[in-house]
Amino acid sequence: MNHKLEPGTKLVVASHNPGKVWEIKQLIIPYGLDAISAADLNLEEPEETETTFVGNAELKARHAARAANLPALADDSGLEVEALDGAPGIYSARWAGPSKDFGAAMKRLADEISARTGWSSPPRANFTCALSLVWPDGTAQNFEGKVFGHLVWPARGGNGFGYDPMFVADGKEQTFGEMEPAQKYAISHRTRAFSLFKEACLEGIPLAPPSKATGRDLEGFAAAARNLSTRDELVTFIANLRKDHETHGATWGTHTLTEFLTALEKSVSALDSEEEEPRWRYLAKALFAASR
């Protein structure tokens, strides 16, 4: 069957990672596609049993397409380090543990490199992203993008998420964690995979002119709060929250310092203290909740 994406097509973004969902939505919404996440549909996450990025992306997309009876787009991505024979690779997220603490994952990665080869020369590495589009009838199209570079330690920067603060792309001096989002997206592995997806699946669909933001990017803030793992990322989050208040303060749910602190007190009290998360993430989630 000949499938075609067109404006208005409803796609499931087959991920429960809010940062990844937010990034993919930013890529596809300008083409008029209607995106909803697997988490929003309460779809279970399948066990990733494949041995490649493409295999796991297709597995996730196939599961979501079948469960939702909608075309599904899934991403599987990770960091491959030459000195570690490609690790963590498809296990990149799992190195962060059940709490998705990438601060701990980066420390583990640095320790593994120290034990194996040391840091006398920058370890070569690459990010890989596989995108898989699967239709309800099982038809699948797969695309893969890579960006090569080297690692640094200690990590630098509070933008991005995951291993971004350790990775410097070839020809650049800043880590992905130090780059502004637009700089990173211009060369990222996900953008390169999406370019292949766009050529194959979106050709002929006019790109809508960028809309001027008129309100708060609540989804973006929520994704950032739920994904950050380090102090530097929290500092960046707070700076962005301050800028948001300067622009959209009238639409915040709190308008005085007393109201904000009262809301912060309530949001901290409401957080699940038994859930294992980096402490920086707790504070970011509480600050964002108080701002609403």
Instruction: Judge whether 3 is annotated as a binding position.
Output: no
pTM for the whole structure: 0.85
Is there a domain that residue 210 lies in?
Answer: no
* Structural domain contains residue 3: no
Range(s) of the domain holding residue 262: 218-291
260 and 133 in a common domain: no
- What are the structure tokens assigned to 246, written together? 């300067």
Query: pLDDT band at residue 205, thresholds of 50, 70 and 90?
Result: confident
171 and 280 share a domain? no
Identify the pLDDT of residue 1: 56
Domain boundary among 158, 176, 201: 201
| Model confidence at 174: pLDDT above 60 | yes
Q: Which tens digits make up the pLDDT trace of 181-204?
A: 889 989 999 999 999 999 999 888
Catalytic residue chosen out of the listed positions 40, 75, 76, 85: 76
pLDDT score recorded for residue 6: 87
Q: What is the pLDDT of residue 277?
A: 75
> Catalytic site residue 76?
yes
Q: Is residue 1 part of a domain?
A: no
Residue 209 lies in a domain: no
List the CATH number of the domain containing 197: 3.90.950.10
Task: Give 149-165 pLDDT, tens digit per residue.
Answer: 999 999 999 987 899 99
Residues 133 and 187 in one domain: yes
Report yes or no on 166 lying in a domain.
Answer: yes
Same domain as 34, residue 155: yes
Contacts of 204 (CB under 8 A, 6+ apart): none
Whether 138 shows a pLDDT value over 90: the answer reads yes
Which pLDDT does position 210 carry in this prediction? 61
User: pLDDT-derived band of residue 4, with 50, 70 and 90 as boundaries?
Assistant: confident
Higher pLDDT, 121 or 3: 121
Q: Is 20 annotated as a binding residue?
A: yes
| Mean pLDDT computed over every residue of the chain | 90
Q: How many domains does the chain have?
A: 2
How far apart, in whole angstroms, are the C-alpha atoms of residue 126 and residue 176?
Answer: 12
Q: Is 17 annotated as a binding residue?
A: yes
Q: Is 164 known to sit in a ligand binding site? A: yes
Nearest to 164 by CA among 225, 99, 109: 109
pLDDT value, residue 23: 79
Residue 45 and residue 135 in one domain: yes
Domain limit, last residue, from 170, 201, 232: 201
Q: Has 19 been labeled as part of a binding site?
A: yes
Residues 37-89: tens digit of each pLDDT: 898 899 998 999 999 999 999 999 999 999 999 999 999 999 999 999 999 99
